[in-house]
Structure 1
Amino acid sequence: MRAGDGTGQRGHVAPRHVWVRYGSLASPGVLLDWRKRGDQWEAYVAYATGGGTSSVTVTVQWVPSAHVKPME
């Protein structure tokens, strides 16, 4: 999913659906970009939490790459 993932892209990636993990929960999200800070990769994602009996909240932020998994 990184820009060096063999797709031939350098730098930015096309938006794609992902799962964003926080704590023991995972929310549907959209991967918007990657960046490297020091020796760690971070993903810029938009993801939604809530629903059902609570209102939906959309968050857009940089998260560690370990918190992002492709949606299959």
Structure 2
Amino acid sequence: MATTNPLQFIQQVRAEVAKIVWPTRREVFLTTIMVFIMATLTAIFFALVDLGIRSGLQALLAAIGNG
């Protein structure tokens, strides 16, 4: 196992941090808006699926109960 001294470690960390490309304010804003839109669409989708399953089960149970 290779060991590095603390000075080398700090230099390596600084070199890696310098490679990071941070997103612009506009990119962060647009990504945030897209997350909210996708979360809303997903919530609507699952609400409709839930409504469909609930209606189907109620119809099935009503048919069994009346049968």
TM-score, normalised via structure 2 length? 0.18
Instruction: Name the structure with the higher strand share.
Output: 1
Larger Rg: 2
Instruction: Name the structure with the higher helix share.
Output: 2
TM-score, normalised via structure 1 length? 0.17
